[in-house]
């Protein structure tokens, strides 16, 4: 099993460009999450999903959109990238709200 | 509101020393869950432990142990006889056990450096 995978691993964008980060999990988990990690701030929840076709906002949702069309995939979109979105993005999945989360390897995004 | 504080930003120890990483949390709920994750230099996040609010029994796993004290809202993590491979950033996290919302809150992390 691959667990949780993220595509791409690195990306550099110019301000105003758009992009989509893909997260895939093969553990048949219902819950999926997108976090961003910034120095000294731990991980902050951007959006999450409690099942196929559902999405909800987390702590820092502004500037991001998500979709969960298939149970195994969770997409994070940036419509108009800003330098403040430079960060490391982690996807995670779990089989229950209070269960351990399994994390992907992360995507390092730089917005110039 | 929920909050997790890890007051120690960075800790350095020499190999074989014991080290304790502090975690203090705030929540108004009576049902909640606490976690510790490890992030080694390679960047991935590794789950270490989960503890629910009704189980104050301390946990030991090899060189790792956890001390959960509701009276002081703390969930501290101790590494005994530290090794260089323990060098990582350690995160404490908290989630409420209610049936709505998804407030999984991470602390800012403690960077542990174990020197040979």
The 10s digit of each residue's pLDDT in A52-94 is 999 999 989 999 999 999 999 999 999 999 999 999 999 999 9
Minimal Cα–Cα distance from B4 to chain A, Å?
10
Tell me the two tokens of residue A84: 């403040």
CB contact under 8 A, B108 and A42: yes
Which chain A residue's Cα is nearest to B6?
A: A42
Share of chain A above pLDDT 90, in %: 89
Minimal Cα–Cα distance from A80 to chain B, Å?
26
Share of chain B above pLDDT 70, in %: 94
Nearest to B107 among A42, A58, A90 (CB): A42
Average confidence (pLDDT) over B82-87? 97
Minimal Cα–Cα distance from A52 to chain B, Å?
16
CB contact under 8 A, B91 and A99: no
Is the Cβ–Cβ distance between A18 and A81 less than 8 Å? yes
Share of chain A above pLDDT 70, in %: 100
């Amino acid at each position: 099993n691959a667990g949780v995978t993220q595509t791409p691993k690195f990306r550099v964008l110019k301000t105003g460009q758009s992009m989509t980060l893909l997260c895939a999990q093969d553990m048949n988990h219902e819950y999926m999450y997108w976090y961003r990690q910034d120095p000294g701030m731990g991980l902050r929840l951007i959006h999450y999903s409690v099942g196929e076709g559902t999405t909800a906002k987390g702590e820092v949702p502004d500037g991001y959109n998500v979709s969960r069309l298939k149970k195994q995939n969770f997409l994070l979109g940036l419509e108009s990238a800003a330098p403040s979105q430079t960060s490391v993005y982690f996807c995670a999945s779990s089989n229950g709200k209070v269960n351990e989360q399994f994390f992907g390897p992360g995507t390092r995004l730089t917005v110039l | 509101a929920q909050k997790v504080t890890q007051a120690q930003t960075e800790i350095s120890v020499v190999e074989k020393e014991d080290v304790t990483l502090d975690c203090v949390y705030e929540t108004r709920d009576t049902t909640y869950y606490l976690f510790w994750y490890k992030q080694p230099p390679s960047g991935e996040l590794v789950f270490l432990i989960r503890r629910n609010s009704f189980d104050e029994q301390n946990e030991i796993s090899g060189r790792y142990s956890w001390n959960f004290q509701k009276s002081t809202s703390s969930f501290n993590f101790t590494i005994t006889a530290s090794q260089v491979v323990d060098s990582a950033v350690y995160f404490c996290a908290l989630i409420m056990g209610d049936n709505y919302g998804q407030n999984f809150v991470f602390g800012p992390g403690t960077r542990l450096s174990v020197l040979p």
